[in-house]
Amino acid sequence: MPDTAVTHHTEHVNGIDLHWVESGPADGPLVILVHGFPESWYSWRHQIAALADAGYRTVAIDVRGYGGSSRPSAVEDYRMLRHVGDNVGLVHALGAETATIVGHDWGAPIAWTSAQLRPDVFTAVAGLSVPFSPSGRRRPTEAMAQAGGDNEDFYITYFQAPGVVEAEILPDVRRWLLGIYYSISGDGVLAAGRGPRGALGLVPRGDRLSDQFVHPVAMPEWLTEADVDFYAGEFAGSDFFGPLARYRNIDRDWEDLAAFSDVPITVPSLFVAGEYDGPAITGRRQIERFDTTLPGLTRSVVLPRCGHWVQQERPEETNQLLLEFLARR
């Protein structure tokens, strides 16, 4: 963690205890950072310092189900509308009226939807890795079931049945985390010889997702043993129910958000992804629609030879893009 002072907070927000890390001036413009799967506030460690030092009140949350935040016991408590409610409640708890919201991986759809539904609160939005994708006409699980064909499952389909992916994670959480972090990074994609379209996404029937993992011979520059230790510690005692419940709400989200399927995000926006970033590769059709779905888009950037963990693999470039975006506000 860079040498920038941070403070930890936990408050009751939207019916749960929400944990966040804060840095920067209390009277600075508010920026909320939302992590994805399987991460924590710590995935923003490089951005917290850069944004705080530039004068922004920077808040990185533990999404419900993660780290120091509450872990509700019902799957439906992890639906998208709950996450949007958490973010709105957090802005109020911080005594602010508006914020810029930034999300990565699952945090990106949470950020996109927060700005779509509450542009009065989230007056600018940046999404990393996962492009904005409004609710479509087809039930997501049906569409994803066809994506894998007869012999493979799309990874989100693979995550649907309780107990399946947990059986490969829980026996050795640290090793599984290292495997997924490295395997879908730019370094891992290149080490496996998969090429830009070969990031993990499909699981052969009867196999485990982790059967496709590659592990580093030596740790890459962007990920240290201490980083993996921190993440593993965040999941100590976790059964991964909350993190996986986010995937298990995709049909419920589709139903909840059907009335907003044709509502664009009009506030200023930024999209950043890696060249080898799986969600950006599979989401190319969504990216092609940005002129309609994100009319306030300022930039759409693909970082060469970068994988999925954009803000960790390429912190300096990501920080510069975020600071340029925020400066326009």
Residues annotated catalytic, as ranges = 105, 308
Residues in the chain: 329
End-to-end CA distance of the chain: 27
**How far is it, in rounded angstroms, from Cα 42 to Cα 1?**
8
- Cβ–Cβ under 8 Å, residues 11 and 93: yes
Hey, what are 229's tokens? 């230790």
- Cβ–Cβ under 8 Å, residues 46 and 104: no
In DSSP notation, 16-52 reads EEEEEEEES-TTSPEEEEE--TT--GGGGHHHHHHHH
Q: Which of 140, 151, 168, 119 is nearest to 253 (CA)?
A: 140
Rg (CA), the chain: 18
Helix (H) or strand (E) run with residue 111 in it: helix 107-117
Helix (H) or strand (E) run with residue 197 in it: none
Positive or negative: CA dihedral 117, 36, 247, 9: negative
**How far is it, in rounded angstroms, from Cα 15 to Cα 81?**
13
Instruction: Please give the single-letter amino acid code of residue 241.
Output: F
- The answer to whether the bond into 38 is cis (omega within 30° of 0) is yes
